[in-house]
Amino acid sequence: MAFSLSDPVLVLNANFEPLNVCSIRRAMGLIVSDKATMILDGRGEIRSVSNIFPCPSVIRLERMIKRPRPRVKLTKSEIFRRDNYTCQYCGQKPHTLTIDHIHPRRLGGKGSWENLVTACPACNHRKGGRTLAQAHMQLLQPPTTPSASASYIFGRYLKNNRDWLPYVDGW
């Protein structure tokens, strides 16, 4: 199996809580410096002149890292992901997507999870700077803040790294 040193590696806290994703290069640095141990390999081997190292897929930190509760950052790509890359007015999945303010900014609308939705350019243009009632439009589903579960946070990696599932499920 071919791999790149920039491929993702799941980083677990000392209590096996999923913390982060790093590159194979970074993971190997943590392992060699005894800051982490390899939990799961299965990507092949890294060869040096005198040694052969298994390539990590999941590593666990030796010391417990305290961190604040994770939150999903409000970004354009996360809004698209939350809305499943679907226009929230007509339900289509076009190639180009835009972000629409349900309550327009010019009328005091904020940039928040509950006020931003994915829209196709046609629906966004049709709605314009008006409210839903003024534009006679409806949302397919009300927008909410996505939960910061490990399944959501690391979900984009799970398609290509199915071996991470036992470590991500339940957190």
Query: In the predicted model, is pLDDT for residue 147 greater than 60?
Result: yes
4 shares its domain with 64 = yes
The two structure tokens encoding residue 155: 């979900």
The CATH number of the domain where 121 resides is what?
1.10.30.50
Q: What is the pLDDT of residues 87-107, one digit of tens each?
A: 999 999 999 999 999 999 988
Output the pTM of the full model.
0.73
Does residue 161 lie within any of the structural domains?
A: no
Q: What would you report as the CA-atom Rg of the chain, rounded to the nearest whole angstrom? A: 21
Q: What is the pLDDT of residues 148-171, one digit of tens each?
A: 888 888 888 888 888 888 888 877
Q: From CA 16, how far away is CA 92, in angstroms rounded?
A: 40
Query: In the predicted model, is pLDDT for residue 1 greater than 60?
Result: no
Does residue 166 lie within any of the structural domains?
A: no
Q: What is the pLDDT of residue 138?
A: 94
Q: What is the pLDDT of residue 168?
A: 84
CA distances for 45 relative to 1, 2, 5, angstroms: 9, 10, 11
Does residue 110 lie within any of the structural domains?
A: yes
Provide mean pLDDT across the span 115-128.
94
Q: What is the pLDDT of residue 154?
A: 82
The two structure tokens encoding residue 11: 């980083």
81 shares its domain with 45 = no
- Kindly list the strands in the beta sheet with 18-23, ordered across the sheet, starting from the edge strand earlier in the chain: 18-23, 8-12, 52-61, 36-47
Q: What is the pLDDT of residues 21-70, one digit of tens each?
A: 999 899 999 999 999 999 988 778 888 888 888 889 999 999 999 988 88
Please report which confidence band the pLDDT of residue 126 belongs to, taking 50, 70 and 90 as the band edges.
Answer: very high
Q: What is the pLDDT of residue 62?
A: 95
First to last CA, the chain: 30
Strand pairing class (52-61; 36-47): antiparallel
Mean pLDDT of the chain: 89
Query: Contact 23/30 with Cβ under 8 angstroms?
Result: no
DSSP 102: S
Kindly state the greatest CA–CA separation across the chain: 72
Q: What is the pLDDT of residue 158?
A: 83
99 shares its domain with 129 = yes
Structural domain containing residue 23: 1-68
Query: Contact 5/156 with Cβ under 8 angstroms?
Result: no
Does residue 140 lie within any of the structural domains?
A: no
Provide mean pLDDT across the span 72-77.
91
CA distances for 159 relative to 7, 62, 155, 164, 165, angstroms: 14, 27, 7, 10, 10
Does residue 146 lie within any of the structural domains?
A: no
Does residue 152 lie within any of the structural domains?
A: no
The total number of structural domains in the chain stands at 2
Q: What is the pLDDT of residue 43?
A: 76
Query: Domain ends where: 17, 39, 68?
Result: 68
Q: From CA 30, how far away is CA 14, in angstroms rounded?
A: 14
58 shares its domain with 94 = no
10 shares its domain with 41 = yes
Provide mean pLDDT across the span 1-8.
76
43 shares its domain with 3 = yes
Query: In the predicted model, is pLDDT for residue 116 greater than 90?
Result: yes
CA angle 85, 102, 90 (to 5 degrees): 45
35 shares its domain with 93 = no
Residue with tokens 């950052």: 73
